[in-house]
Amino acid sequence: MANGTDYYAVLGVSSSSTADEIKKQYRRLAKQYHPDANQNDPKSADRFKEISEAYNVLGDAEKRKQYDDMRRLGAFGGVGFGGGASRASARPGGFGSTGPGQSGAGTFTDFDVGGIGGLGDLFSSMFGGAAGARNTRSKGPEKGQSIEQLVDVPFRIAAAGGKVPVELEVNEECIMCHGNGAAPGAQIKPCGECSGRGVISFGQGSFAVNRPCPVCMGRGSVPTERCSTCRGTGEARARRTVNITVPAGAESGSKVRLRGQGGKGAAGGQAGDLVITFNVQHDRFYKRDGLDLIATVPINIAQATLGSRVSVKTLDGKKVAIRIPAGTSAGRRFKVAGQGIEKDGKKGDLLVEVTITVPDSLTEAQEKAMREFAEASGMKF
């Protein structure tokens, strides 16, 4: 993130956190700040976007390594390196070189760090999509932003497979200015702040780093009058609904990537991807153990003692009869073969587990019968 925000701080984790710890924290925050759960809080959408952007980097091992390398060098510690950052201009010569009329250590705007490439290239490759488009001046079509979203999936849809609708909020090209940020009839001129480069250089001492120009937002050009609809950004937030196919046997944490379903590309570039992370909800009847389904069925004392038959619904809604033999104890399981979860050519079983319920109160006749049974069993009161 080129604005100085610390991704670790955004997610509330330390730089030494494991990948699993970062993923767990991301899921917790994504669920907490999801716009659908905070419809009365307009700031939740921005917070959710910030959290997703942070996880997009820290959740990817390669991007995280690049980010950590840059972070150690101070590239995300504010405007430049350290506190008193100063504006620096690009000049030839690179690190430690001097030219005519120059003295002291050489100043540069791009350099190679341990084989990870130049700073300008690194910012662009790390933060890709809509964010990366602002780091350097656009040179052609650019892929749109990839969006990652946590989606709650009902247990039975996750087990059997199906579709769930997902409402997304993405950046779309402004329909008024068609993405150039200009008001109707306005002219597009090179940005005077960055001389049309789209970036400005900040640094201190021998180090400098490119940052997107705050005036033209990395475009290298500005309109004589900004579009009133998007305020010159060229983008507008839009909400759209996408039906997501959930594969049978999906579990919490599993992902699907939908190509071209993310943010709109710039300058005719292809759309970004949509990465869906599933969060499988609990079910009131079924539990899961691998590919097996566990269904808890209550029976009364008489059924457990004398034996009985009970009906149980399978995952596809059909009913199967289970014979409960006399003398069944609580916790005993009965297997219905092949009625579990099917995945990768394998299919589990349905395990029916019985619990014995005790009535809160008895009628006079029931109490009399129970006492006679107890006395016949040798019990004393």
Binding-site residue set = 174, 177, 191, 194, 213, 216, 227, 230
CA dist 92 and 96 (Å) reads 11
Distance of CA 166 to the CA centre of its chain: 13
Where helices occur in 141-245 by DSSP H, the ranges are 155-160
Distance of CA 84 to the CA centre of its chain: 36
Annotated binding site for Zn(2+): 174, 177, 191, 194, 213, 216, 227, 230
* Helix-helix angle 19-33:43-58, to 10 degrees: 170
| Cβ neighbours, 10 Å, residue 56 | 22
Contact 4, 80 (CB under 8 A): no
Contact 347, 191 (CB under 8 A): no
Residues 6+ positions from 230 with CB-CB distance below 8 Å: 174, 176, 177, 181, 236
CA angle 346, 348, 352 (to 5 degrees): 170
